[in-house]
Structure 1
Amino acid sequence: MAGRSKFYSEKPYVIKNCIDQRKEIFVAKVKVYFPKSEYNNLLSLPPIFRNIEIENREEVIGEYMYSQAQKHSLPITKKDRKLTTLLDTNDQFMAFAVFEKNSTYEPFVRTMMNLRIQAILAGSTKEKFYKLINNASYGYDTLNTEKFGKIKMLDKAGTFIAQHHPNHIGTRRISANTFAVQTKPKTATCFTSIQSGVFTLDNAKYWYLNYIYNFMYKCLDRKRFHFVLADTDSIYIAIAGDPTKDCRQQFESIVTDKQFYDQHVYQYLPDPNKDIYDYKKILGFGIENEGYELTSLGPKFYSMIVNKWNKEKQQYEFKPKITSKGISKTQDISHSDYVNVINKDIVKKGINGTVKMYNNIMSSIQVEKYALTGFNNKSIVLRNQCCCPYIKGLTANDYIIKCQ
């Protein structure tokens, strides 16, 4: 089904009515369970991805993060909805709708990927064009867009009416007679094949976990690497390797099962003895950045000193790579600012600017935001800065730090 559908957030059963019934169909019901005896072995990277509601109370997010928010007067809401990793399903079992079997997406991806590689070899700018087609085709609009609110610029009369609507979320005053009103939409439109969107995203998470649990944990010394932060399609790992080698040694110095490692490593990572077709293979992993220092304050908030090749000088140079979600890149944020948040407990503010038009009048709006705070409620952060998952039936007080 590659047509247009609408997700009704209040009536999930309507989704099934949007899908044409075909002969080749299947139903997938997901129920995950891990015995409590295995919890300690899974704490490094919990294997369940789930979007949950988190109450910002001390017994939920922990004393360390709660006191951090109170100390710096951080504007936190009573509840947040976050995509995080868990050890259980929070007593919620996921059942997929009935889908038509779709086998046409795979050859499309291979064709576009081959065209992209040919453009790279030819030095053509079409490489970015084919990359955009691939990234936009898998279902970027199949994400949980029904969770995001819409913001309208209204006058006093329109704001008064909107605030009495059941879908009203919040209001912010912009000027004397202009208000930004946020509402929750009733529907979310999707133009992409649901199979391609839903199952491509879920398969990415599965392959991600398959690499960690069925490769890394089986042949590497788990005491010598640490997951610093992770996203849906990337992961940053700190490795205690050989101090006599440079930062491009990868996992060579922490291999425990050499035979298993040599047999399977290039099923995932690129083989240096092969060409770009192997480096860009589908379901493969590529090394994006390598360096000696990485400071992370939470998901999508990190600064890394990377070792990059300078084509002009024909040598490697160390440069900071800074990522701060929701903060304008024009802000004066440096690597030392990230370090100061952890070592000196210093928060940093920034200003985001935008332009709005209302009644044919262009207005420049500047909003002061907390840029770097160190506050993270996607997991329970302990006093020693270990990040632990939320577990159904347990509170933050149930985690115990054992002194070495």
Structure 2
Amino acid sequence: MQQRIQSKIEGNDGGEQFSKITMNSSYGSDGMNQEHFSDIKLCDIHETFRKHLNGRFKSDRKLGDNLYAVEFEQQKFNCKTCLQVAFAVLDCAKYRFMNFYYNFLTPMVDMNRVHLIYCDTDSMMLAVAGDPKQNYKQGFSAVVKDKEFYDQNFYKFFPKPKSIITQENKSQLDNLDNKGQRKLKIKELQIENEKKPLGVAYEHCGSTLIALAPKNY
């Protein structure tokens, strides 16, 4: 996470994306069931006939005039992954996800104007029927039904604005004489707040969405 934050501070998009993929795969791959994996090889017609003599041969499928997909039975499986980590991460993500949706979002906004389009392990895409006179970057501002609840709880989940972060870290920032260092420190604090563990952040917003079936990226 720290490497990802540092890459974001430096404007290194490649490093940030690499860190994100590494974190996702570090627990996602641990939960994969290798028993369901397929051992498939692409062969020409002559090689396909030879593969039929293999004791592990399971089936073949013609893909072209001289191209076949030959599937073999698995003989062994590896059980070296840390399954408890994968399941713990998934369960924690579900809990935080449901807590955000039912205990924060539902009481705060008019759910007749908010539609859940789809969600993944730790993300959700919402369609918001906001103020037609404003652009699509208005967020929830036009659909908030409990302003007091919003003010008390919004920044427990979402990133704080620059003004609040600057005020909360005033003593730390006052010790920096160099204007460039101060600006860099504020940016660093903003990114750390945005990427805080168990926090919520806007990934993207737009005026249209094509929602594919789950996992069909």
- TM-score (structure 1 length as normaliser): 0.41
1:264 is matched with: 153
In 2, distance between residues paired with 1:197 and 1:185?
Answer: 24
**1:160-175 alignment to 2 at 5 Å?**
161=54, 168=58, 170-174=59-63
2:52 is matched with: 159
1:278 is matched with: 193
Cα offset, 1:226, TM superposition: 0.7
Cα offset, 1:191, TM superposition: 4.5
Structure 1 residues 130, 295: closer, same or farther in 2, change over 3 A? closer
1:115 is matched with: 3
In 2, distance between residues paired with 1:129 and 1:295?
Answer: 26
- Residue 69 (structure 2) pairs with residue 180 (structure 1): yes
Q: Tell me the secondary structure at the aligned position of residue 117 of structure 1.
A: helix
| Cα deviation code 1:361-392 (max 9, x no counterpart) | xxxxxxxxxxxxxxxxxxxxxxxxxxxxxxxx
**1:310-325 alignment to 2 at 5 Å?**
325=217
In 2, distance between residues paired with 1:210 and 1:183?
Answer: 44
In 1, distance between residues paired with 2:125 and 2:203?
Answer: 10
Cα offset, 1:295, TM superposition: 3.2
**1:32-111 alignment to 2 at 5 Å?**
none
| Cα deviation code 1:120-156 (max 9, x no counterpart) | 2133454344334423322424223432322124521
Cα offset, 1:239, TM superposition: 0.6
1:223 is matched with: 112
Cα offset, 1:253, TM superposition: 1.3
Cα offset, 1:196, TM superposition: 1.8
Q: Select which of 136, 139, 158 maps to 1:247.
A: 136
Runs of 5+ unmatched residues, structure 1 = 1-112, 301-323, 326-404
1:296 is matched with: 211
In 2, distance between residues paired with 1:145 and 1:114?
Answer: 31
In the alignment, is the contact (CA less than 8 A) between 1:139 and 1:193 conserved in 2?
no
Structure 1 residues 231, 120: closer, same or farther in 2, change over 3 A? same
In the alignment, is the contact (CA less than 8 A) between 1:156 and 1:179 conserved in 2?
no
In 2, distance between residues paired with 1:293 and 1:133?
Answer: 30
CA RMSD of aligned residues (A): 2.7
In the alignment, is the contact (CA less than 8 A) between 1:219 and 1:258 conserved in 2?
yes
In 1, distance between residues paired with 2:67 and 2:212?
Answer: 36
Q: Which moved more, 1:170-179 or 1:237-246?
A: 170-179
Q: Select which of 234, 241, 244 maps to 2:123.
A: 234
Q: Which moved more, 1:188-197 or 1:219-228?
A: 188-197
Structure 1 residues 162, 257: closer, same or farther in 2, change over 3 A? farther
In the alignment, is the contact (CA less than 8 A) between 1:141 and 1:190 conserved in 2?
no
Q: Tell me the secondary structure at the aligned position of residue 201 of structure 1.
A: helix
Structure 1 residues 201, 146: closer, same or farther in 2, change over 3 A? farther
Q: Tell me the secondary structure at the aligned position of residue 295 of structure 1.
A: coil
Cα offset, 1:296, TM superposition: 2.7
Structure with the bigger percentage of strand: 1
Cα offset, 1:157, TM superposition: 3.4
Structure with the bigger percentage of helix: 2
Structure 1 residues 209, 152: closer, same or farther in 2, change over 3 A? same
- Residue 61 (structure 2) pairs with residue 204 (structure 1): no
- The alignment of Structure 1 onto Structure 2 pairs a total of residues equal to 186
Q: Tell me the secondary structure at the aligned position of residue 290 of structure 1.
A: coil
- Residue 66 (structure 2) pairs with residue 144 (structure 1): no
Structure 1 residues 140, 267: closer, same or farther in 2, change over 3 A? farther
Cα offset, 1:279, TM superposition: 0.6
Structure 1 residues 152, 182: closer, same or farther in 2, change over 3 A? same
Structure 1 residues 285, 249: closer, same or farther in 2, change over 3 A? same
In the alignment, is the contact (CA less than 8 A) between 1:162 and 1:181 conserved in 2?
no
- TM-score (structure 2 length as normaliser): 0.72
In the alignment, is the contact (CA less than 8 A) between 2:30 and 2:83 conserved in 1?
no
In the alignment, is the contact (CA less than 8 A) between 2:94 and 2:121 conserved in 1?
yes
2:178 is matched with: none
In 2, distance between residues paired with 1:293 and 1:184?
Answer: 45
In 2, distance between residues paired with 1:279 and 1:160?
Answer: 58
Q: Which moved more, 1:184-193 or 1:222-231?
A: 184-193
In the alignment, is the contact (CA less than 8 A) between 1:155 and 1:177 conserved in 2?
no
Structure 1 residues 196, 120: closer, same or farther in 2, change over 3 A? same
